[in-house]
Structure 1
Amino acid sequence: MTGKLPGYFDENSESLSARIATGLHKLGLAMKQQSWQQANGAGLSATQGQILAALVAHGPLSGTELSTRLGVTLPTISDSVRVLVEKALVTKAPDPRHPRASLLTPTATGAALGARARSWPEFMADAVADLSPEEQRAFFSGIVKMIRMLQEQGLVPVTGMCVTCTHFRPNVRPGASPHHCAFVDAPISSDQLRLDCPEHERAPEPARREVWEQFLRRD
């Protein structure tokens, strides 16, 4: 091959960021399709499966908490919960924290389905496992930064991530585990950061921004 047009792809390609966005869109379609198929096979909607998975992972929650955690409107949550209660997959009880609210708890059957729903994304983990350790670390670092940016834009719920948690202390020591989790009083590496921690407590906005800036100084 003589390479008569050496600059062709420089002049006729979208930016790398645009191509990454296209790739993420394709991954999102795969996730959506798999979730729909798995939910349908279990006699659930995708939202109902997500609700059961959240209740299994985090314990009893109110409708408002589910709405915040899943990024789904409260009316949609209410409709899905009504169906889950009718199917005897979820029970409702008064919420001692809020007299006018209800706490939702999965039944034994609902918990079993919720545990299955939590495994729906495993096919994607298998694909990620084909990446080299270096590629996985770079990919994970990019995901953390992208989710954090989307959270600050109000497009993703600010829940679950170490980098938005009041217990997170970034870059407080040298070495392979420079961060610290004050909740369990233990060091944590960048590879061990959590995206959906059940003990997450959202830091107030000014502190959240300061923690993020400190995290980026070394990352």
Structure 2
Amino acid sequence: MPLRLTLILRTPNYPLMDHAADPDPVLIRLREGFERVALVLRADLWAAAGDAGLNPTQAQVLALLAGRPAGLRAKEIAAHLAVSAPSMADTLAALARKALLTRAPDPADARAAIVRLTDEGRALGRALAAATSQVMSALARLAPPEQADLLLTQIKLIRTLQQAGAIPVQRMCVSCRHFRPNAHPAEAQPHHCAFVNAAIGTRDLRLDCSEHEAADPDVQAATWTSFANGSQPLRAPRET
């Protein structure tokens, strides 16, 4: 076989690279953007936690449980916050010493305990969850349609991350058995919540609803298809 020589031209000051293997530049920029927003969120969390005499993880636990009066197991809290079990045990113990939460035996599992907030812990958790941050101030400066579009994008991203097992299942409208996508087509509030029996618009969609009841997997898939396509489902989600 004859020897073949390939001439490679290189631009001065730029390393040789295989551009075909590079990630999409837009994806890189989007990730970088999320990283910058996360930095501000982290700083806001440290500030709010410090003002309340807590560390950031303790503040996150209170904010999480404030929206879950029925409580959660320790392992569920750890999964939601991406914290190790030993670290979460230390955090819960510290909050219990501060009289901000209680732990009671889980009726469904004698080996587990249900963690609930005390009245003081719930009030503090709600205050932390509602605290105004630099990111919220920046979001408030977006036009209402931009806010709605961003919320839709978040819902899609969270659902994809859930399916990949990267985050626990969230209590979103789109996975709830009470949600009826596009039940009122061509109206300002095209969707319907059967729990409150009211039409809802894009800005009303929730990422974490205390009344959430997960629909059957098949119903969730059909609901999502209808929601994403802007069409009505072929059949209403089954009631249980």
8 Å Cα contact 2:66-2:126 kept in structure 1: yes
Tell which structure's C-alpha radius of gyration is larger: 2
Residue of structure 2 aligned with 1:83, choices 78, 89, 94: 94
1:73 Cα offset (Å): 4.1
- Seq. identity, %: 39
Residue from 123, 128, 134 that aligns with 1:112:
123
Task: Return closer, same or farther for 1:171/1:104 CA change in 2, 3 Å cut-off.
Answer: same
Q: Does 1:188 align with 2:200?
A: yes
Q: Look up the match of 2:229.
A: 217
Give the structure 1 partner of residue 210 of structure 2: 198
In the alignment, the residues of structure 2 paired with residue 137 and residue 200 of structure 1 have an alpha-carbon distance, to the nearest angstrom, of 21
Aligned to 1:8: none
2:176 touches 2:215 (CA, 8 Å); kept in 1? yes
- 1:154 to 2:165 alignment: yes
The aligned amino acid for 1:28 is: A
| Structure 1: distance between partners of 2:80 and 2:193 | 21
> Counterpart of 1:26?
36
Judged with a 3 Å threshold, the aligned counterparts in structure 2 of structure 1 residues 204 and 47 are, in CA distance, closer, same or farther, namely farther
Structure 1 residues 68 and 197: CA distance shift in structure 2, 3 A: farther
Normalised by the size of structure 2, how large is the TM-score?
A: 0.76
Question: In the alignment, which residue of structure 2 is the partner of 1:40?
Answer: 50
Partner deviation per Cα, 1:1-26 (whole Å, 9 max, x = no partner): xxxxxxxxxxxxx7333222211110
Sort the Cα spacing of 1:28 and 1:206 in 2 relative to 1 into closer, same or farther, 3 A. same
My pick for the range that moved more, 45-54 or 189-198, is 45-54
Tell me how far apart the structure 2 counterparts of residues 73 and 136 of structure 1 sit (CA, whole Å). 34
Q: Judging changes above 3 Å, is the alpha-carbon distance between structure 1 residues 183 and 68 closer, same or farther for their aligned structure 2 residues?
A: farther
In structure 1, the partner of 2:220 is 208
Contact 1:34 1:120 in 2 (8 A): no
Q: How many equivalent residue pairs?
A: 206
Detail structure 1 runs of 4+ shifted over 4 Å in the superposition.
Answer: none
Hey, what's the Cα distance between the residues in 2 that align with 1:124 and 1:18? 21
Give me the TM-score of the superposition, normalised by structure 1: 0.83
Deviations 1:110-167 (A, max 9, x none): 2332122213453322111111122222222212211111111112221121112222
Letter in 1 for 2:172: M
- Greater helix share, 1 or 2? 1
- Please give the root-mean-square deviation of Cα atoms over the aligned residues, in Å: 2.2
2:147 matches 1:166: no
Among candidates 4, 15, 31, match of residue 25 of structure 2: 15
